[in-house]
A and B are shown apart, each in its own frame.
Chain A
Amino acid sequence: AQKITQTQPGMFVQEKEAVTLDCTYDTSDPSYGLFWYKQPSSGEMIFLIYQGSYDQQNATEGRYSLNFQKARKSANLVISASQLGDSAMYFCAMRSSNFGNEKLTFGTGTRLTIIP
């Protein structure tokens, strides 16, 4: 069974500093995908970044990068130069397959608050 663990329920970070949100996962599938989503207070889930298990390089999307350490089964999200608008809930998720039907399994989330 697949499992995603986010151990930081909440984080407070000064504006313009970099922040790392932790995510570890457990799966027996050789092929899998890892995602990070941002959920502001408005409720919409916003896709941030994707890392495939066979990708040779760590994924980057603008200020977001994913520190993928396959042997340690971790996929931490790094946000550089944080902004007030980064305050939100952040979810790590993993693609899993169930009898050929693929779905996402989410971690419990980390609430990030950026302090001016």
Chain B
Amino acid sequence: DTEVTQTPKHLVMGMTNKKSLKCEQHMGHRAMYWYKQKAKKPPELMFVYSYEKLSINESVPSRFSPECPNSSLLNLHLHALQPEDSALYLCASSQPQGRLEQFFGPGTRLTVL
């Protein structure tokens, strides 16, 4: 199984809502990533989990809260977002060392009203 799944595919939320994005992989990878991608821009790294521990936080605002409950799952909890947070959120996984070839999920298109 070489697939990374993400749910939901689309999400519309108000600025006072709390929602979560979910990512799952069954490739035995021990590193998982959250990226944010605005239109016509490259993905921007947000968080990296290595062996279920947060290893990189790229100075992301606290309204984004990541969670890695186990080696297969990665969540991104959203609270009090701003309209400028509207973007495509991509999850990826890889082995934590070596080639670092990352496998990406299809993404969640988030719209904040």
Contacts and interface: CB of A to CB of B under 8 A. Distances in A.
Q: What's the interface size class on B, roughly?
A: 20 to 34
B73 interface: no
A47 B103 contact: yes
Interface string B64-104: 00000000000000000000000010101000110111111
A101 B101 contact: no
Nearest to B55: A101
Contact of B90 (A45, A47, A101, A109): A45
Interface stretch (B11-19, B20-28, B38-46): B38-46
B43 A52 contact: no
Q: What's the interface size class on A, roughly?
A: 20 to 34
Contact of B50 (A43, A50, A52, A101): A101
Contacts of B104: 37, 44-47
Contact of B97 (A37, A44, A102): A102
A76 interface: no
B107 A101 contact: no
30 contacts: A35-B101, A37-B104, A42-B106, A43-B37, A43-B88, A43-B106, A43-B107, A44-B106, A45-B43, A45-B90, A45-B102, A46-B104, A47-B101, A50-B101, A52-B99, A95-B99, A98-B56, A101-B55, A102-B96, A102-B100, A103-B45, A103-B48, A103-B56, A104-B45, A106-B42, A106-B43, A108-B42, A109-B40, A109-B41, A109-B42
Interface of B: 33, 37, 40-43, 45, 48, 50, 55-56, 88, 90, 92, 96-97, 99-107, 109
Give the 6 A-B residue pairs with the shortest CB-CB distance, closest first: A106-B42, A45-B104, A43-B107, A44-B106, A95-B100, A101-B55
